[in-house]
Amino acid sequence: MRIRLAHADEWPAVLAVVREAFAATDPRYTELVERIHDSADFVPQLSFVAELDGVLTGNVILSKIPLHTATGDVQARLLSEFAVLPEHRHHGVGAALIRNALRGAERGTASMVLAAGPPSYFQQFGFRRSSDLGVMPPNDTISDRDFQMVPLPQYNPAEDRGLTALPAYFGESGVRWP
């Protein structure tokens, strides 16, 4: 398996992975991923794919999300989407994608990576409850327990505290995220 940056010309193949990965849970998820991709929040340098024998088996996207602090907005990244084809799950594909995305984010300008999901999964990558670090979930649908963050080298614990705001396309897609 190889993890690499997604190429712009393979976006249809990435969407096919997302479509298949979420077919059993919420097929509208593909629309959310398209909205992320088409937004100003999409960061091509933080869009990765897993490839096995020339076939895409998974992908991850870290997108921009603002953190509103007492002194202004801080750049953060959101693990807004990751998908693995059903037949490749539980083989380390998702973990490899997330680790690679976090390494990519460390080289950027953001101070943290945020994610929503089970702490038991995300803690293996260094995520901690965001509220313990002064970063609150964007809304009541994401529990404090499940909103996680990884501080990046640019993180300033005294100043990088506040409330995140999910971009409108999360609600517009009709998908309950996470």
Specify the pLDDT at position 65. 93
How wide is the angle at C-alpha 10 spanned by C-alphas 108 and 66, nearest 5°?
A: 30
Specify the pLDDT at position 139. 84
Contacts of 53 (CB under 8 A, 6+ apart): none
Phi, psi of 101 (to 5 degrees): -65, -40
How far is residue 12's CA from residue 8's CA, in Å, rounded to a whole number?
A: 9
Q: In Å, what is the CA distance from 86 to each residue of 18, 54, 57, 83? A: 10, 17, 9, 9
Q: Coil, helix or strand for 163?
A: strand
Specify the pLDDT at position 58. 97
Specify the pLDDT at position 104. 96
DSSP annotation of 85 reads -
Specify the pLDDT at position 29. 86
Helical ranges in 70-139 per DSSP H: 93-106, 119-122
Closest CA to 78 of 96, 51, 102, 94: 102
Specify the pLDDT at position 173. 67
Whose tokens are 């960061």? That residue is 43
Closest CA to 3 of 60, 41, 42: 60
Specify the pLDDT at position 141. 82
Residue 126: Cβ-neighbour burial (10 angstroms; 0-12, 13-18, 19+): middle
| Cβ atoms of 104 and 45 closer than 8 Å | yes
Specify the pLDDT at position 169. 79
Query: Which residue ranges in the chain fall short of pLDDT 70?
Result: 173-178
Specify the pLDDT at position 151. 97
Write the pLDDT tens digit of every residue in 87-138. Answer: 999 999 999 999 999 999 999 999 999 999 999 999 999 999 999 999 999 8
Residue type, 17: V
DSSP annotation of 70 reads T
Q: What is the pTM of this model?
A: 0.92
